[in-house]
Structure 1
Amino acid sequence: MTQIFAHRGAAGTHPENTMVSFYEAYRVGADGIELDVQLSKDGEVVVIHDELLDRTTNGKGNVKDHMWKDLQSLDAGYKFQKQFARATIPNLEEVLAWIQGTNLILNIELKNGVYPYRGLEEKVIALVRTYSMESRVILSSFNHYSLVYAYRIAPEIETAPLYRDGLYMPWVYATSIGAKAIHPSIHTAPDAIVAASMKEGVAVRPYTINNEDKMRHLFEIGISAFITDFPERAVKLRNTIDVQ
């Protein structure tokens, strides 16, 4: 069965990368949650997508230039402020402590393409091991050097390269770096590539699928999973297809 991963939680209806967004993804029946991590100035593993605070919070400047205690005080509700007043930025430990008690898969994207956060891989892996989540975590990144390093120090945790441009025989590339899956932009994941990858035992989980016709097509071809801002919409559609 095609799995549904909630992109930054239920980011289409709730403030992205916040606990309220993750709770909603779980409530509506998503199979997994995708989130992003960076490091604060004092080395805390912070759950946030942009390097800059400006878009999703009432803060300014780079995440890396702020202490964790200051990041905690920011309002991360942004465009959903009326419904979700005072949503805050979580750290990875808070998410892991909660998700450990669910059946959800956790896709952690290492956001170290713009700033090469020293120690990010080690800190994330240490937390995953602390909460015994090795078998339910996927590490992904556009920084494939980071993924190779993560695989070397924690081969028991699945890795999956993210990419936006076409890769030739991506299943071969994934296998060569120790990855068990690929997370391509949907625009670089035609059916033939999906089928060939899955045939070779490499899971395919494209992003970001919000169109119902595209969701339906992916369900019909039996893709491994896809990542969406609207997990409730995807789950309801999958249920109608399963019934038929």
Structure 2
Amino acid sequence: MEETLIYAHRGSKGTHPENTLIAFEHAIHLGVDGIELDVHLSKDGHLIVIHDETVDRTTNGTGYIRDLTLTEIKRLDAGSWFSTEYEGEQVPTLSEVLELMKNTTLYLNIEIKADIIPYENIEEKILQAIRDSDFDEKRIIISSFNHYSVAKFKKLAPNIETAILFMEILLDPWEYAKTVGATSLHVYEPVAFTETAHEALKNNFPVRTFTVNNKNHMRALMEQNISAIMTDYPKEALTIRSELKKKETGT
């Protein structure tokens, strides 16, 4: 069986200000297998890497991303809310993250945050950013809770992997995923422990689960060969995976 991959959720969110370049750099340095991030559109059409629809929680500013220009967003401090150590960290663009990661071997999971605000043409813009950066498309995974967005992206770029995000226990979700062109499932942590996840894996559908921060849960999911875990504490997950590998090989 293939080992469980470890994705840094919004970078190393538990130890650094989420969705910032310093958080992504730290995750890369740790040796994770992939990074997960979120993308919105600014007022002037730039792809902004941030989780919420507003800048209120993770910067010293206020307002919706869709109502702010890139220049206005770049003026904000996205680090001090987490720790004064990170004062001056900016909100990155997707292009900046692609540039940071393109010469690594890591996977990049881009979550399209179009489930609350249906950003116009965000799928086309993301695809253009990927291609402009010369990033290896085999290392890209596009996911969203907005399955219309997933379906649209798949039509634009059939060779890029897509995943549906969901939080419920669904009946045969891999069959539903096929109808929107998705080839993997990104599930809420409790779902990863259910028969749904086991059956999906048997049907050759990768199951990646968010957000796994409990060490016992990390270990249990790795032991059941879940495809990947997304965690705010990638260093801890890497340590547990290393311990399990030593136990398995007897070294």
- In 1, the alpha carbon distance for the partners of 2:192 and 2:222 equals 14
- In 2, the alpha carbon distance for the partners of 1:83 and 1:40 equals 27
Amino acid at match of 1:171: W
Partner of 1:93: 95
Q: Work out whether residues 171 and 196 of structure 2, in 8 Å CA contact, stay in contact via their aligned partners in 1.
A: no
Partner SS state of residue 46, structure 1: strand
Residue 93 of structure 1, CA deviation: 0.4
Q: What aligned pairs does 1:64-79 form with structure 2 within 5 A after superposition?
A: 64-79=66-81
Q: Work out whether residues 98 and 135 of structure 2, in 8 Å CA contact, stay in contact via their aligned partners in 1.
A: no
Partner of 1:134: 137
Once the two structures are superposed, residues 127-164 of structure 1 have per-residue CA deviations (whole angstroms, 9 ceiling, x without a partner) of 11222331110000000000000001111111001111
Moved more, 171-180 or 143-152: 171-180
Partner of 1:4: 6
Once the two structures are superposed, residues 84-119 of structure 1 have per-residue CA deviations (whole angstroms, 9 ceiling, x without a partner) of 111110000000011001111000000011111001
2:241 to 230, 238, 242: 238
Partner of 2:52: 50
Amino acid at match of 1:31: D
Partner of 2:216: 213
Residue 82 of structure 1, CA deviation: 1.6
- In 2, the alpha carbon distance for the partners of 1:5 and 1:94 equals 19
Partner of 2:178: 175
Moved more, 137-146 or 127-136: 127-136
Residue 179 of structure 1, CA deviation: 1.1
Residue 24 of structure 1, CA deviation: 0.8
- In 2, the alpha carbon distance for the partners of 1:173 and 1:43 equals 32
Partner SS state of residue 52, structure 1: coil
Q: 1:122/1:47 Cα in 2 relative to 1: closer, same or farther (>3 Å)?
A: same
Partner SS state of residue 241, structure 2: helix
Percent of aligned positions that are identical = 44
- In 2, the alpha carbon distance for the partners of 1:193 and 1:139 equals 22
2:148 to 132, 145, 149: 145
Once the two structures are superposed, residues 185-205 of structure 1 have per-residue CA deviations (whole angstroms, 9 ceiling, x without a partner) of 112233422221111111000
Unaligned runs of 5+ in 2: none
Q: What aligned pairs does 1:110-121 form with structure 2 within 5 A after superposition?
A: 110-121=112-123
- In 1, the alpha carbon distance for the partners of 2:84 and 2:135 equals 37
Residue 78 of structure 1, CA deviation: 4.1
Q: Work out whether residues 16 and 82 of structure 2, in 8 Å CA contact, stay in contact via their aligned partners in 1.
A: yes
Residue 154 (1) aligns with residue 160 (2): no
- In 2, the alpha carbon distance for the partners of 1:191 and 1:165 equals 11
Partner of 1:227: 230
Partner of 1:123: 125
1:20 to 14, 19, 22: 22
Residue 175 of structure 1, CA deviation: 2.0
Unaligned runs of 5+ in 1: none
Residue 28 of structure 1, CA deviation: 1.1
Residue 67 of structure 1, CA deviation: 0.5
Q: Work out whether residues 191 and 197 of structure 2, in 8 Å CA contact, stay in contact via their aligned partners in 1.
A: no
- In 1, the alpha carbon distance for the partners of 2:211 and 2:181 equals 24
